[in-house]
Amino acid sequence: MKTKTIVLSITALIFVVGVLVVGTWVAQQPSKQTCSGLDIQLMDSIEQRFVTVEEMHSVLKSKGLYPVGVDIEAVSCHAIERCMEEHDMIRSAECYKLVNGEVRLCLKQRVPMFLVVGTDGSFYVDTDRKVMPVRATIDVEVPVIKGTVSQRAAVEDYYDFAEWLAESDYWKGRIKFVHVQNAKHIVLIQNEMNAKIILGELTGYKKKLNKLEKLYTKGFDRIGYPEYREYDLRYAGQVVGRK
């Protein structure tokens, strides 16, 4: 009888201790935490500001993805990133949660390389070779390509040309407009000179412009620039100047 009583007492003691341990563990578990704030950072805002932080807050609210006040566990950083990267002006987005209950969203904007005013309307082509819409907040100086240029031609053909101009030690910033009358007659307008450059076809543009660069730097820079109205680069091995 004593043995049975001792066994029952030990079982009861184990049960009480178990209840106390579980109760203590439950009491120590944190209550549900709600998102206390959204910190949006434009990582490249010094170079350009095509969007505002306020606009990005509004976009998330309109899409039902605004995290503030929502259970932090229910906030989907992936969904927020995907929503931001669908925006016309956003290149990339990184979203993550902070230990204090806030959500941080880091955004990089798209970078326009040149503006096209062509057969498919007006649009930019960005540094990722993608079409980018025109909006009032974009205020950058980039080459302008006008004329019979489609979106496809701008992305596939003229992108390489514009990229080469932007990276050229000599021609960077020197070409303001590119007039495309047709595929065989392309004219370049220089920033600081009145003379036009008749490029002809886009094919062989590097060789053609390198030829003109040598004439400028090794010739005219030393003896002075003649008053030509245009330089014609369509002829092999020579530059034809016309007054």
Model-wide pTM > 0.85: no
139 and 226 assigned to the same domain? yes
Quote the pLDDT of residue 23: 43
- 3-state DSSP assignment of residue 218: helix
131 and 103 assigned to the same domain? no
Quote the pLDDT of residue 8: 44
182 and 212 assigned to the same domain? yes
Of 91, 109, 127, the residue at which a domain comes to its end is: 109
153 and 169 assigned to the same domain? yes
Domain harbouring 105, CATH code: 3.10.20.310
Quote the pLDDT of residue 55: 96
Quote the pLDDT of residue 68: 97
73 and 187 assigned to the same domain? no
98 and 119 assigned to the same domain? no
Backbone angles phi, psi at 150, to 5 degrees: -90, 170
Domain harbouring 127, CATH code: 3.40.50.11690
Which residue stretches of the chain have pLDDT < 50? 2, 7-8, 12-13, 16-29
Taking the C-alpha atoms of 13, 14, 16 and 19 in order, what is their torsion angle to the nearest 10 degrees? 180
146 and 91 assigned to the same domain? no
204: nearest Cα among 242, 141, 148, 161: 161
162 and 100 assigned to the same domain? no
Quote the pLDDT of residue 47: 81
Quote the pLDDT of residue 17: 42
In a domain? residue 17: no
87 and 172 assigned to the same domain? no
